[in-house]
Structure formats: C-alpha cells, structure tokens
Amino acid sequence: MNQLLARCDAFVGKFTSNMDRLVFALMSGRRGGCVPPYASIDSRWCFDFGVRSGRTLGNESFKC
C-alpha cells in the first residue's frame, strides 16, 4: 500500500503518523530527492524522538 501511495503527485496526510512519513519519504525518493507538494493536517514535520519539540498547526507543542 505504501508503494501505491508513493506514486501520487501530491501528499495530504498526518506527519505524526509513521506510515504517512514513510509514504512522504518514498515520494521524495521517487522524485530524485525533490520534495513533492504536501499538506499536513495535524503538524509540521518533526525530526526529534521523545522530545517536546513538535508543533501543531495551532502552535501547540507535543512530543515527537
């Protein structure tokens, strides 16, 4: 299913979901490292794990 979703032209999902992060990474890889158009419905991309550094679109913090 991830491979099928990665063939899309744009991404709409949740960056707090590991499956959605995987799909977005696969999409970027298929485009030669170019970031595809995207919209996250819950938060921005978060690079930390277990650290309160994530921010929702409403600017509230959460643990990544």
C-alpha pair distances (Å), 37 with each of 48, 52, 63, 64: 23, 27, 25, 23
Asked if 36 contacts 63 with a C-beta cutoff of 8 angstroms, the reply is no
Number of Cβ atoms within 10 Å of the Cβ of 24: 21
- The pLDDT tens digits of the residues spanning 1-60 come to 778 888 888 889 888 788 988 998 899 898 887 888 988 887 777 666 666 666 776 777
pTM of full prediction above 0.75: no
